[in-house]
Structure 1
């Protein structure tokens, strides 16, 4: 009975500690960590006057991932995703017919994304799973062929920027009143087209669906 009385006496303090770490309307969350962009790509075939019968593949890349979120209610926030630039190797989908290695070139991109997220648990819970949906605009730049492919006559590689939908699931786990851990998986709709020159002939890839999954692990701070 004595232990039960002590436990009941402590309940107000436990409740107070729990509410002290609650996410609330007006809170600002800032996170920093690692983000891996893993393309789930498909592409139309490369065309240089004729259809060559094969397309492209794109490798993964990991960079510093940054997010900032503002709670418009106790359960809903608006989040912006940013990162240091991602650079991906672009490869032939089959053995390179030019004999210059399987890597065709590389491209760099920035994928700023805005999502609206809904948190399921009571705001006072330390464990906060959420889902979100929003929009992405991907800037693609610094496209270049490898040196061997340039020597073989490839030049002027260009990929279009992309605008599309985005969705995510994630978890925030509060370590203290201010600090928390985050893990999130995003899917981003990124579609583009490529054009280039092979000697005097203009070539293209009319449809490249990159559609990556973005895996992130971060440490966050609440203001």
Structure 2
């Protein structure tokens, strides 16, 4: 058999595999389907604020574990629109300068994203995907320490920050309804944070959170 014939045969075989795999994905997902899911997430961030309280110290936000809920509406066989909301409790501390190492307390941070996803139709029950969209964040329910209170900081709050998000992930379908989900998001999220006292805010500084959110969970198709 000539090299040309063998090459054509290999290409034809590859094309058949792609078509069969793509047909399997198409059969499993239809326009109008909903995927509702939940994931345990790790929010990886070591964000630092601008200098605070007219010093060289900065407010540091540590990484944290959290919980995420998501809903995806399938626009077609391979395209979906995902809405995600998550929250995690983060430790706050002072970094560098005269307050270096001071324990500021904790704060809950929520992140919300809306992404357009494309599912790669090649791997049967294993389906990688890519996505991009917009993101938002908000600080709530802070709990400051006595040390922070001695400086006049009674709470840590924020406005609503917004930015952009990129996404990669992998779906593994167990059956027609249930699937395992592994998801990684990169968020570009600046936010203005207020160091609040009993009176006017002591200071307002910008923090670039820019977290990487890694999640593992399950989803159900309706």
Q: What is the TM-score of this pair, normalised by structure 1?
A: 0.79
From the superposition, tell whether residues 183 and 143 of structure 1 become closer, same or farther in structure 2 (CA, over 3 Å). Answer: same
Matches within 5 A, 1:1-223: 18=24, 22-46=28-52, 48=53, 50=54, 52-83=55-86, 85-94=87-96, 97=99, 102-122=102-122, 125-196=124-195, 203-223=202-222
Inter-partner Cα distance in structure 2 for 1:197 and 1:20 = 53
Aligned length: 202
Contact 2:37-2:219 at 8 Å conserved across structures: yes
Structure 1: gaps (5+ residues): 1-13
Contact 1:145-1:155 at 8 Å conserved across structures: yes
Contact 2:93-2:105 at 8 Å conserved across structures: yes
Inter-partner Cα distance in structure 2 for 1:139 and 1:156 = 14
Q: CA deviation at 1:136?
A: 1.5
From the superposition, tell whether residues 147 and 42 of structure 1 become closer, same or farther in structure 2 (CA, over 3 Å). Answer: closer
Contact 2:109-2:138 at 8 Å conserved across structures: yes
Contact 1:172-1:182 at 8 Å conserved across structures: yes
- More helix as a share of residues: 2
Q: What is the TM-score of this pair, normalised by structure 2?
A: 0.79
SS in structure 2 opposite 1:150? helix
Inter-partner Cα distance in structure 2 for 1:179 and 1:158 = 39
Higher RCO, 1 vs 2 (CA within 8 Å, ≥6 residues apart):
1
From the superposition, tell whether residues 116 and 40 of structure 1 become closer, same or farther in structure 2 (CA, over 3 Å). Answer: farther
SS in structure 2 opposite 1:116? strand
Inter-partner Cα distance in structure 2 for 1:205 and 1:174 = 47
Contact 1:31-1:67 at 8 Å conserved across structures: yes
From the superposition, tell whether residues 125 and 93 of structure 1 become closer, same or farther in structure 2 (CA, over 3 Å). Answer: same
Inter-partner Cα distance in structure 2 for 1:39 and 1:70 = 29
Other-structure match for 1:11: none
Contact 1:43-1:205 at 8 Å conserved across structures: no
Inter-partner Cα distance in structure 2 for 1:202 and 1:140 = 15
Range moving further from structure 2, 151-160 or 36-45: 151-160
Q: CA deviation at 1:151?
A: 3.5
Contact 1:21-1:176 at 8 Å conserved across structures: no
Inter-partner Cα distance in structure 2 for 1:127 and 1:67 = 19
4+ runs of 1 displaced by more than 4 Å?
Answer: 17-21, 197-202
CA RMSD of aligned residues (A): 2.8
